A and B are shown apart, each in its own frame.
Chain A
Amino acid sequence: AQSVAQPEDQVNVAEGNPLTVKCTYSVSGNPYLFWYVQYPNRGLQFLLKYITGDNLVKGSYGFEAEFNKSQTSFHLKKPSALVSDSALYFCAVRDIGNYGQNFVFGPGTRLSVLP
């Protein structure tokens, strides 16, 4: 079965500092990996995804994520955080070989960027 872990409920970072939101996954086959962001009282917005190819994926709003197969991780990063990045971030995984499986979302990590 697929699963996603986001080990930190909350991440606090000062504006201008680099940020990392961690994600590890478990699938039986090869994964497709996604990051979504949820702003207060809004739906989820797609940030980026890893399908194949370069392990470093660049996405919206200056975010990037690195796929590490040996560590089964897909951490989200940004070189310089903005106060407006404060939101709830979800990592999600899909098993490439498992057509019938849908997205499995992690529990979410709340990012607070302090001015």
Chain B
Amino acid sequence: DTAVSQTPKYLVTQMGNDKSIKCEQNLGHDTMYWYKQDSKKFLKIMFSYNNKELIINETVPNRFSPKSPDKAHLNLHINSLELGDSAVYFCASSPWTSTQETQYFGPGTRLLVL
């Protein structure tokens, strides 16, 4: 019954590596998001896509590149991983970008960069 799924659940990697996190939603939503939750639990939006098009790109290093092959998927690719990238990354989706719409979150991907 998973509505928003992410893979992998855990990711441990070395500094300098390139990695990807995948996100899929089966809710038929038009809009998808990526959030970063740091060690203090602060949650901050990174990107927002509507129907495969980027609509929000917060101040995020260009080492982070989202890719949306279709409106049900929004993957996050990270180049040249740094220690500070260690965090929990959450994918979310909502029916469209109307401001009243509820967002539905995936279970998170715990990234640890060594």
Given known contacts A49-B102, A95-B99, A102-B33, is B41 in contact with A107 (CB within 8 Å)?
Answer: yes
Given known contacts A43-B90, A43-B108, is B99 in contact with A96 (CB within 8 Å)?
Answer: yes
A99 to B41 CA separation, bound complex (whole angstroms):
26
Residues of B within 8 A of A95 (CB): 99
**A interface residue count range (under 10 / 10 to 19 / 20 to 34 / 35 or more):** 20 to 34
**B interface residue count range (under 10 / 10 to 19 / 20 to 34 / 35 or more):** 20 to 34
Residues of B within 8 A of A32 (CB): 99-100
The reply to whether A44 and B45 contact each other, CB–CB distance below 8 Å, is no
Given known contacts A46-B103, A95-B99, A102-B48, is B43 in contact with A90 (CB within 8 Å)?
Answer: yes
Which residues of A pack against B, CB within 8 Å? 32, 34, 36, 38, 41-46, 49, 51, 88, 90, 94-96, 98-103, 105, 107-108
Nearest 3 CB-CB pairings of A with B: A43-B105, A44-B105, A105-B43
